[in-house]
Amino acid sequence: MAIDFRCTECNKLLRTPDDTAGKRAKCPDCGAVMTIPEAPANAGGSAPPPPSGGSPFGSAGPQPSFSADSGNPYQSPSPFASTGPIGFQGPISQGTLDLGDILSRTWILFKIDWGMCVGATLIVLLLNAGISSVSVLVPIIGPIVSSLFSLWLNIGLALFFLKKARGQNPEFGELFNGWPYFVKILLGSILVGLIVIGIFSVCVAPLFLVGLTVSFVAAVLLAILGGIVAVPLIWYVTLMFSQFYYLILDRNLDVIDALKTSQRLMDGNKLMLFLINLVAGVLGSLVMLFTCFLGVFVVVPFIAMMHAVIYLTVTNQPTAEQVSAVEGSPFGSLPRMGPVQ
């Protein structure tokens, strides 16, 4: 059960758990501080059914979003589906990325429980290193098995940080819960990889063949020119499909639906995502350089948290510091989200 009430200043519709009645909270839009009212006597009912169709944007009529009163950021979480244990009911909408906002919110979330974040990342890094060292003993098959094992662990790590970014409390066991999404993410990764290879081949191969009619040196120079043309196209495609991974984890979408939804969400956000990754990569490299690479144990979990924050932002879903515990919480003064399982 939840309490729905409007901000006394800006009239924004807010929603909090019923156990917060009588406590003081601050509106995230205008900053007004108010007392949370008591829940109405007849406040009850069941959660709304999940949206129909495979795409979280829905297909029948206008859909609510977190930017509208009908789907405000304080919406109580509920199970999205039995096969998608960490998602929200209802559609998602497109959000806008901002460099400073993403980095600052990621830092807030990371430093609150940095020990768990570093610990989860360390477990994955050590397991990956162990499997990789053994895989070299078995030619061909070994590296393939190592790559699949690494993908499985990375899915679990993404699940862990997605829950952390939402203010939940995942255990280390979450790192080994990636199997339900493994096949879809593997197929999606292969499909994106094939698109990238196709772009590179189309840009490079014809120029190389034309150059061979002159000389080998000319072929190499033309191939390099084709590669230079291919790089921005590859970046464009990679950024466009960058959210398919989390869309499968969060909404359990089919591969094609996840790719199409990512394309729609990233419309207008691709350049900013490139800048965010560039700045984070440069800063992370500097941290590792000046710490003799010991900083990798901070940089890697920070970037993993950043990717989760990026996904939640671009899908217009709240992160933990936006929907946080009532007075006394390290996040601030708003009701914190509970588990959605």
Residue 239 lies inside a defined structural domain of this protein: yes
Residue 319 lies inside a defined structural domain of this protein: no
- Please list, residue by residue across 293-324, b when 16 or more beta carbons sit within 10 angstroms of its beta carbon and e when fewer do: eebbbbbbbbbbbbbbbbbbbbbbbbbbbbbb
Do 169 and 195 belong to one domain? Answer: yes
Do 16 and 70 belong to one domain? Answer: yes
Do 105 and 226 belong to one domain? Answer: yes
CA-closest candidate to residue 55, choices 95, 96, 94, 92: 92
Do 156 and 286 belong to one domain? Answer: yes
At 54-110, the pLDDT tens digits run 444 443 333 333 333 333 333 333 322 223 344 443 568 999 999 999 999 999 999
Residue 274: domain span: 94-314
In this predicted structure, the answer to whether residue 335 has a pLDDT above a threshold of 80 is no
Would you say 1 and 21 are in contact if contact means Cβ atoms under 8 Å apart?
A: no
Residue 230 lies inside a defined structural domain of this protein: yes
At 110-167, the pLDDT tens digits run 999 999 999 999 999 999 999 999 998 888 899 999 999 999 999 999 999 999 999 8
In this predicted structure, the answer to whether residue 258 has a pLDDT above a threshold of 70 is yes
Residues 6+ apart with CB under 8 A from 37: 3, 5, 21
Do 87 and 101 belong to one domain? Answer: no
pLDDT averaged over every residue in the chain? 81
Does 41 or 259 have the greater pLDDT score? Answer: 259
Residue 320 lies inside a defined structural domain of this protein: no
Residue 306 lies inside a defined structural domain of this protein: yes
Residue 61 lies inside a defined structural domain of this protein: no
Q: Which residues pair with 81 in a beta bridge?
A: 84
Do 80 and 162 belong to one domain? Answer: no
Do 73 and 174 belong to one domain? Answer: no
Mean pLDDT on 11-22: 74
Do 125 and 269 belong to one domain? Answer: yes
What is the pTM for the complete model shown? 0.71
Do 70 and 121 belong to one domain? Answer: no
Counting the structural domains of the chain, the total is 2
Do 163 and 259 belong to one domain? Answer: yes
